[in-house]
Amino acid sequence: MALEDLRATVTRCSRCSYCKWIPFAHVKSWRFAKGCPSIEYNKFQSYSASGRLCASLSLLEERSSYFDEGLVDIVFKCMLDGCCDVACKINRYDFEPVEVMRQMRFKMIDNGCYPPQDMPLIDHLKKEDNMMMAAKADRANWAEGLGVKDLTEEKAEVVFHVGCRFSFDEELWRVPRTVVDLLNKAGVDFGILGKDENCCGGRVCDMGYRGEFIKYAENNIDAWKNAGVKTVVTGCSDCYHAFKRLYPEEMEFNFEVVHITEYIERLINEGKLKFTKEVPMTITYHDPCHLGRRGEAHVPWKGEQKKVRGHVLVWEPRRPRYNGAQGVYETPRNVLKSIPGVKLVEMERNREYAWCCGAGAGVRERYPDFSEWTAGERIEEAKASGAEAIVSACPHCERNFMDAVAEKNESLKVFDILDLVREAI
Amino acid sequence: MALSSEVYEALENIVGPDNITEEPATLDSYAYQWMAELVTNVTDGGKFFDRAEAVLMPGSAEDVQAIVKACNQHKLRFHVFSTGWGPWAASPAEGQILLDLRRMDKIIEIDEQNMFAVVEPYVVAAQLQAEAMKVGLNNHISGAGAGTSVLANACCFQGGGPDVIYFASPQDSILSIEWVTPEGDILQTGSLGSGLGWFCAEGPGPSTQGIIRGSLGGAGGWGVVTKIAIRLVHWPGPATLPIEGTVPSYQAALPEDQFKAAFPAFSDWQDFSDAIYRIYDSEIGYIAHRQFVMWGDELQAAFLNIVTDPTRQLCDLEELLEKPEIQKLTEEMQRNFQLIMVGMTPRDLEYQKKVLDQILKETGGWNISFVEKPDVQRYVLLFMLRLCFKNLNFTATGGFIDTYNSVATPDVWASGEIQAGKKLLKKYAGRIADAGDQAMGPIGGQGGGGVTGWEDFVFYDPFDPDSSKAAAEVSDEGDKLKAVQGRPPGGMLLGLARATHADQEARAQKLSKSPEYNWQRKIKETLDPNGVGSGNYFWGADTSKK
């Protein structure tokens, strides 16, 4: 798929603006009706999914140029969070707005057009296999003293892929350490790749650097094969999305992928994990985009579009539909609800139409002000729900919220689900 | 023609550097519009109308006023829009600037006791409805759906919709207005003009409602309405719509003793027409619309099965059409409409249901049992009460227009016009979607009923030049049919837009059947002496430079 192949899609956009809002059925207030951080922050039409589709056609028809001043900002100042995709597809059964935006990025990068602030990030990634500006040699520091099996030397069927944010963000180390504790208690034979773990490549792919992504995907798959891995467990939603959706799109992929919340729910259901302590707290759950609407598993499909009854557009054979319906929404909520004392309240925008945390697709690094504003909006929504804490299942969301809360001097607490699980055991 | 640095600087000083742009791809994101391929195929403009010279985003009435004054000073034309869906939102000619009002997005007030709301241009219907429902009130939603501007639908363009029978036409629901005139004065109309608040359109204070709104409103070329007060109606339901179900087949689980969706259906058009008269007389119904025939009378049953089941896709269409139960339902639904009954009390709903039963008994009609399925009932209630699925108009082919349309008393349904419309569409079947009768429209086109009507939908593929051409031809042919009947061109002004891009003579010929448009043009010429309000299809003199 290339941008040129999506010409029909971008020509059929009705410019209805559904992509700017949460699904209208779910609008509960004036304040939290909007769904797209990009256009809310940047205002002009070109910063919406529809506007980017229109801009794509403008590029394809050579009405504007990849090198026009301002285009880089339009294309990349967006988290690719996919709320637009969900809202659009409520009515448009044949549409793929996020795919157009991804291909637009690939094309821009191919043309050498990218935000200048990418340079140090990509250079560092190439050198140290992470964009956290940390040394590769420090990747396994979080696991010091835990005695986790090293899969570069031993074998196991389960690999715990920690991910860059959990590996290098010391304030979040408590989370992967809890994962190790839980897996040990459950008697799971697992290991980590330690300092040789690679970036999943998901984020750099969303940023537009497809070549880098392919490289990391191949490296990871090779490493897992060598270690005899069958199941990949991760606590990071970015990694989950990469493994569940992006890898199988690009290459042969025969691994089970499990988010840690799914693993915990499994342990609870099997009676292997029991909560014994109360955690008296009113919390709200933030759905990470990459675990929710963008976390739908890839389903292989090969076919074509045809027309019936004159011009009614259908896919033949039936094409998998990625509209947010199959994201992981209930599992984390089930885990939270099973913790004694926890009272779960919902934010107005939740599940497939949740507001993004602001960190995705490199926006945190490229456009920190926009990223922080987006997180701040979510903090306001969490406060309006009456919660004392916002809980998520992704280190990127948590880091962005922690920073926004600190910046705004808010009292709202920020947790990973694993924090509450640990408290309750 | 780019703006001179002097003009750009003057405008930038008003809105600030972050709220003005000349960036080409951004300007094209505004030039791209639904239907452009039909309007501009006379000039090969494709999906793009003329590119504006710049886009500005004013943040207040004072910003708008300053921009309009600057336009008068520099003889620069401006075109304005709010949510911006449709060809009337694009710059109608070269050399103009666009005002995007999305920064003016506040609900200023909801007056619960006096049942009205004051809103800015970028408040959409779903937002106002969500807030109004919290205090037991509800607002009209235009047939274009929940994502369109409350203000623009009331003041600046057509804006009728399925709920008009109970809610009244939006133009009849406008109370006071704050309007930046084409010369840059801020005029407050009705009671607001006397400093008495927003409650009344007709004073004390100046009543310019007819001038500002007219037949169709200014459609972006007629000063800038910056705030309105709009009348609200009673809402006896919960403070928040109770949404259930899996995307995209959301449903509203409303109390069954106060909410009921019915699909009255009839074996001939005379009975259909008679039933509508009886509904008017008995004053039942919160919403009354012939909605789902938008997919065509031959496809509506299959499409309803698809959209109410989240596991279904369009590729199921042909299989569904082969099923005997769908064929039976298709036959049953041929002459049906949707009636949403909302009881202010359970007893009220019981009464309405009994009245409907009696009407159906007297007219030989029936209620289609498919709508009694709980999932369908809840889906239809949500669809009609929030109009949150209105972009399903585009689902089948990616493009739709309306063409041969009608607004008249209910007798019109039995006049043979439905068959004429269907015949017109069938003539082009294959080049457009082959769906049958697509006459979608309000059962009650004004408050309390009395007027009904429809738009004949045409589904075409914007990516297919021949399909687009066919849609344009249907539109032209529909206008000709209407001209023979002495009726003005309709169809979302598509015919006029096409004629405007073709030549002035064609446009004048179309307008010769439209005294109301000509009258609006005269008013505009009087109140906009510098002609800075943009040209428009029904009054402007602009022709594309291409």
Q: Which two tokens stand for residue A229?
A: 């891995």
Lowest mean pLDDT among A78-82, A259-263, B46-50: B46-50
Specify the pLDDT at position B537. Answer: 67
Phi, psi of B6 (to 5 degrees): -65, -45
* Total length of chain A: 425
Residues of B in contact with A45 (CB under 8 A): 26, 29-30, 55, 84, 100
Q: Which CATH class is domain B107-234?
A: alpha beta
| Beta carbons of B268 and B397 less than 8 angstroms apart | no
Nearest CB among A55, A312, A323 relative to B396 is that of: A312
Check whether B546 has a pLDDT greater than 50: no
pLDDT digits (tens, 9 = 90+) for B235-269: 999 999 999 999 999 999 999 999 999 999 999 99
Distance CA B69, CA B224 (A): 12
Instruction: State the average pLDDT over residues B198-218.
Output: 78
Assess whether the previous peptide bond of B170 is cis (omega < 30° from 0).
no
- Determine whether the interchain pair A54/B310 forms a contact, defined as Cβ–Cβ distance below 8 Å: no
Lowest mean pLDDT among A68-82, A272-286, A396-410, B158-172: B158-172
Cβ density class B467-500: b for 16+ within 10 Å, e for less: bbbbbbbbbbbbbebbbeeebbbbbbbbbbbbbb
Q: For domain A275-292+327-425, give the fold.
A: Rossmann fold (3.40.50)
Phi, psi of B34 (to 5 degrees): -50, 135
Q: For domain A118-269, give the fold.
A: Glutathione S-transferase Yfyf (Class Pi); Chain A, domain 2 (1.20.1050)
CATH of B258-392, one of 3.30.565.10, 3.30.70.3450, 3.40.50.300, 2.160.20.70: 3.30.70.3450
Q: Is A63 on the interface with B (CB under 8 A)?
A: yes
Q: Is A50 on the interface with B (CB under 8 A)?
A: yes
Instruction: State the average pLDDT over residues A111-133.
Output: 97
Check whether A103 has a pLDDT greater than 60: yes
Residues of B in contact with A323 (CB under 8 A): 247-248
CA A1 to chain centre: 21
CATH of B5-100, one of 3.30.230.10, 1.10.540.10, 3.40.640.10, 3.30.43.10: 3.30.43.10
Residues of A in contact with B386 (CB under 8 A): 24-25
- Distances in Å between the alpha carbon of A29 and those of A25, A124, B89? 11, 44, 26
- Determine whether the interchain pair B315/A314 forms a contact, defined as Cβ–Cβ distance below 8 Å: yes
Specify the pLDDT at position B513. Answer: 66
Q: ipTM beyond 0.85?
A: yes
Instruction: State the average pLDDT over residues B460-485.
Output: 89
Specify the pLDDT at position B544. Answer: 41
Q: Is A46 on the interface with B (CB under 8 A)?
A: yes
| Beta carbons of B308 and B326 less than 8 angstroms apart | no
- Determine whether the interchain pair A58/B83 forms a contact, defined as Cβ–Cβ distance below 8 Å: no
- Higher-pLDDT residue of B492, A345: A345
Distance CA B189, CA B78 (A): 23
Instruction: State the average pLDDT over residues A10-29.
Output: 96
Specify the pLDDT at position B538. Answer: 63
- Higher-pLDDT residue of B493, A165: A165
- Average pLDDT of every residue of chain A: 97
pTM reported for the whole predicted model: 0.96
Residue B357 Cα, gap to closest chain A Cα (Å):
30
Distance CA A240, CA B457 (A): 44
Residue A50 Cα, gap to closest chain B Cα (Å):
8
